[in-house]
Amino acid sequence: MPKIIRGFVRGVDAMNYFIGRFAMYLIFALIGVLMWSSVSKTFFEPTLWTLEMAQFIMVAFYVLGGPYAVQMGSNVRMDLFYGTWSVRQKAWMDAFTVLFLMFYLGVLLYGAIGSTAYSLGHFTGEPFAFFWDLGVTLVTEGPAAAKDKMGFIERSPTAWRPYIWPVKTIMILGVTLMLLQVTAEFFRDIGRIRGVEL
């Protein structure tokens, strides 16, 4: 396999391993927030933010941890036939079916980008142009001018009213990482077909 592809696979694996290991420990943040919620309710005042905070942590947990879970092979497959195939046969089939998965992730990413643009106040449905414009403005004219490009910043309709764009940004990041991981898996399968373990 070309060196660049080996490098890509190794790089993606390492990055997602690192991020996934970080996401893995979010389980304790989740337990902590919910424990605090119980404690504060019993002894002080109920909190405004814990349930929603827990939901945000949960999103980070499963979205950022997803690629690492793919590395670990945690994703189930229906292996009625699959289970009986050889490594090479599996690689052939996977190299093909992974394209469907990429398509799904691509659509998911498209939706995430549109929704994040919306949460930054962009309403006309051209999210890529918006982000491009935003980026260019940020670089050429500075943060204040970029802020002006944004419109109504979406907040969660709760009493706590957190901004929504951070969690949507995490989703963009997570889906992108997943897409990279799946691409790495694709190359790995191609490698297996050629008899090389990447």
Q: How far is residue 153's CA from residue 69's CA, in Å, rounded to a whole number?
A: 33
Q: How far is residue 155's CA from residue 112's CA, in Å, rounded to a whole number?
A: 16
Among 5, 98, 173, 190, binds other proteins (CB under 8 A): 98
In the complex with other proteins, the residue whose CB is nearer, 18 or 123, is: 123
By CB under 8 A, what part of segment 68-97 binds other proteins? 68-70, 72, 74-83, 85, 90, 93-94, 96-97
Q: How far is residue 42's CA from residue 45's CA, in Å, rounded to a whole number?
A: 8
Q: How far is residue 121's CA from residue 177's CA, in Å, rounded to a whole number?
A: 25
Shortest distance in whole angstroms from residue 148 CB to other proteins:
16
Q: Please choose, out of 7-15, 42-50, 138-146, 188-196, the segment that lies near other proteins by the rule CB under 8 A.
A: 42-50
Q: Please choose, out of 9-17, 52-60, 141-149, 190-198, the segment that lies near other proteins by the rule CB under 8 A.
A: 52-60
Task: Give φ, ψ of 78 to 5 degrees.
Answer: -90, 105
Taking CB under 8 A as the rule, does residue 5 contact other proteins? no
Q: 64: how many CB neighbours lie within 10 A of its CB?
A: 22
Shortest distance in whole angstroms from residue 66 CB to other proteins:
5
By CB under 8 A, what part of segment 125-144 binds other proteins? 125
Taking CB under 8 A as the rule, does residue 29 contact other proteins? no
Q: Please choose, out of 32-40, 130-138, 142-150, 187-195, the segment that lies near other proteins by the rule CB under 8 A.
A: 32-40
Is-contact 19 3, C-beta < 8 A? no
Taking CB under 8 A as the rule, does residue 123 contact other proteins? yes
Task: Kindly state the number of chain residues that form the binding site for other proteins, as judged by CB under 8 A.
Answer: 76
Q: How far is residue 46's CA from residue 50's CA, in Å, rounded to a whole number?
A: 9
**126-153 burial string, b = 16+ CB within 10 Å, else e?**
ebeebeeebeebeeeeeeeebeebbeee
Q: Please choose, out of 10-18, 51-59, 132-140, 190-198, the segment that lies near other proteins by the rule CB under 8 A.
A: 51-59
